[in-house]
Structure 1
C-alpha cells in the first residue's frame, strides 16, 4: 500500500477535504463534499497515528436525488516507520477489516475503510468520529500522568460523568463482551497480524524472546543504577525482589506449558482507561467506547483487568472494589459464553463449551487477574523506568498491587509480553 500524505487530502488553510479521494476509499458510497470539523482535537489513547476529524456528506442510499447522509469521521494515518513496523501498529487496520464486524459490540467504533501494511507499519482508516467525548482516564484524578496536562480542567471534565469505580465496571463489561466473542477460538492463531498468534501456534520463539530480553535489559540497567546508589526512582524492596524473581523465570518452554493451562481469547492488548472514550456525555445516551486497537492479540483475557487496575486506579480504591469488579466481569463473561453455546453468536469454539465455562471459575478468573496484571506490568516497568516522575507513579501502583497480592516473590509469574 502507499499512504497518501494528509496534506494532500486536507487543505489546512481552507479546511476543505478531497471528496474524490474519500469517494474512492468509501466506494460505492459517493462523497459529495467534506471539510475539517472545527475545534475538535484528539483526546484519549496513546496512539502514534495522525488524525484529522471530518464532516462528510454522502450521497443518499438511493443515488442522486436521495436524502444526503451527514457523518462525522476520524481519518487516522500512520506513516511507514521502523518503529511502527517493529511494534506492528498497522494491526489496527486489520482489526477493523477482519475482526470488528464479527464482534457485534457497541463499544467498538464503526469503520468505513481501512488498510495497513505490517511490513512497513503504515496504515490508514476512516473511523466513526466519537462526538462530545472525553477520555475515560480523566475520571481517575490528577495523580495519573495521563492527566497531568489537564489538571486544571479535571473538575469540569469529571462533573456529571462516571466515577472511577463506575468507569471500571463499564470497561470490564466491554472487555467481557470482547473476550467472549472469540473465547478459546483457535482460528485466531491463523491471523498472523494478531499479537501473540504465532506464539499460540508454538512458533515465533525468537520474537517472544526478543521482547522479553528488551525488558530484561531495562531491568538490568535499572538494577545497576540502583545498586550503585544512583537511582532516581525510589525503589520498593518488595517490588525489586518480585521483579528479580519474575525475570529469573523467563522460559519459552514454560510459557508454552503455562498458556495451555489457562484460557485464551481475542484481547484489546492495551487495556487502560485512556483507551476508552466516554461519549455523548451528560445525556441519556452516554456510553463508553473502546479506541486504539493497535495492540490487539491473543492472550489471557483476565490479564487485561489487572493491567487496567494497576494502570489507573488508586490503591485504596482498588482494594475496596477490585473483588466486586472482577466478579462482575466474570458473571457477564460467563453469561455471554453460555449464550454463545446456545447458538446466539460466536464461532470457532473447540471442545465442550459448557465445560469451558465451568472451568473458568471466579477463583480462576481472580488468579489470572492477579498473575496477569502483575506479569504484564513487570514487563512494562523496565521499558520506561528512566521516565521520571512518570515511572515513579507506575512503580508505586505496581508495588502496592504486589504487596497486596504476591506476598512471596517466589510466587511471581514470568513477565507477560
Structure 2
C-alpha cells in the first residue's frame, strides 16, 4: 500500500492512481463540510472508464501539531475501515483506500453516497428516520455483542476504576467551564440536572461492564446520511470505543428527536433496536434490560456534549447545537428518572481485559 498523504495538494492523479489501482489522468476537488477535526473533499476523477466518478477524501488537519494531537482519533477511524467494518452489519460507505502514517497523517478514500443527504442536528429527524437509524445501529452492536476479542484490539478498553476516577477528575472542572460558557442560556432545570449528574460520571463510565459491544460514541444526525429510500449510513468513526450499547442508543434518540417525539416513540424505537439485536443472535438480554440500559446510557449525551463544547472550536451553530443536545438529554434524564438508576448499587463487572 502506498503511503498516506496529509494535504489536498498531495492527492495528485499519480497518487490517486496508485491508491485506487487505476489510471487517473485528472481530478477536480470540492470541499465538503466544515472540517473541524480534519477536512473532507469530493474528488471528481478522470481516467479509466471503470473509475468511480467521484470519491470522498478525508484528510487530517493541515497543522502538524494539531494533527499529531488528533492522532488517536484518526487511528481509530482507519482501524474501523481496515479491521472492523467487515465484521459488523452497520451500513457505511465502501472504503477504497485507508492509509495511516506517523503523527496523525492519514488518508481515507470513501464511496461518495450522494445524493444521500447528511442529517441536520438542529433540524432533527422524524420518528421513522430515527427508527431506521436505531435498527442500523443494532447492526454495529449485535454482531460484536460481548465479544471479548474486541478488547484485544489496541485502544479498545473497558474503563477500569482508575480510568473512571481520572475521568471524573477531568469532567468536574470541564462541567464548570461548560456552565460558565453557556449556562446562562440554559433553563434552571437543565442546569440543576447537569450539576446533579456530574458526581456520577466516573462510576457511570465503568458501570454495566458485563455487557459490552463496539460503540460509535458519536452516533447523531450530523454523522449520518439518509438515502431517498430511507437507508441510513454512518460515518465519522474517530470516537469508536467499547462499552454499553445503550449509550449509543440514548445519545442518538435524545439528540435527534424533538422532546415530544422522543416521549411518544422511544419505547417503540428501542423495541425495534432490541428486536434487531435478537436477529443477530444476542441472547440473555430481555427487552426490559435493554430499556434499562437505554435509560442508563443517557449520560452519554451529557458526557459528549460537555466535552465537545469545551474542547472544540466555538461557533454560533455549534453553540446552538450543544444547547439543543443538552436540552434533549437533560429532559430525558428527568423523564426517565435516570438519577435513580445511577444511585443503585453497581452490578457484577466483567474484567476489563475480557475473557
Fold in common (TM above 0.5): yes
1:101 CA displacement: 2.4
1:405 CA displacement: 0.7
2:60 is matched with 78
1:234 is matched with 186
Aligned length in residues: 332
Give the 3-state SS of the residue equivalent to 2:158 in structure 1: helix
Matched, 1:215 2:207: no
1:134 CA displacement: 1.1
Matched, 1:247 2:236: no
1:188 CA displacement: 0.8
The change in CA–CA distance for 1:92 and 1:137 in structure 2 (over 3 A counts) is same
1:89 is matched with 73
CA contact (8 A) 1:53 1:72 kept: yes
Q: 2-side partners of 1:211 and 1:3: how far apart?
A: 34
1:199 is matched with 158
1:100 CA displacement: 1.2
Give the 3-state SS of the residue equivalent to 1:137 in structure 2: coil
Give the 3-state SS of the residue equivalent to 2:120 in structure 1: helix
What residue ranges of structure 2 are gaps of 5+ in the alignment?
345-355
CA contact (8 A) 1:46 1:275 kept: no
Give the 3-state SS of the residue equivalent to 1:249 in structure 2: helix
Give the 3-state SS of the residue equivalent to 1:112 in structure 2: strand
What residue ranges of structure 1 are gaps of 5+ in the alignment?
10-17, 60-66, 145-162, 338-355
CA contact (8 A) 2:225 2:234 kept: yes
CA contact (8 A) 2:132 2:230 kept: no
Matched, 1:273 2:236: no
One of 18, 37, 59 as aligned partner of 1:24: 18
Matched, 1:259 2:174: no
* TM-score, length basis structure 1: 0.70
Q: 2-side partners of 1:368 and 1:250: how far apart?
A: 15
CA contact (8 A) 2:94 2:110 kept: yes
1:334 CA displacement: 0.7
1:242 CA displacement: 3.7
1:410 CA displacement: 5.0
Q: 2-side partners of 1:392 and 1:286: how far apart?
A: 28
CA contact (8 A) 1:34 1:54 kept: no
Matched, 1:402 2:333: yes
CA contact (8 A) 2:157 2:241 kept: no
Please list the CA deviations of residues 202-234 of structure 1 after superposition, one character each: whole Å capped at 9, or x if unmatched.
Answer: 49x45x5444433211223456x59xxx95223
Cα RMSD over matched residues? Answer: 3.2
Give the 3-state SS of the residue equivalent to 1:184 in structure 2: coil
The change in CA–CA distance for 1:127 and 1:302 in structure 2 (over 3 A counts) is same
Q: 1-side partners of 2:205 and 2:6: how far apart?
A: 41
Q: 2-side partners of 1:83 and 1:410: how far apart?
A: 41
Matched, 1:167 2:116: no
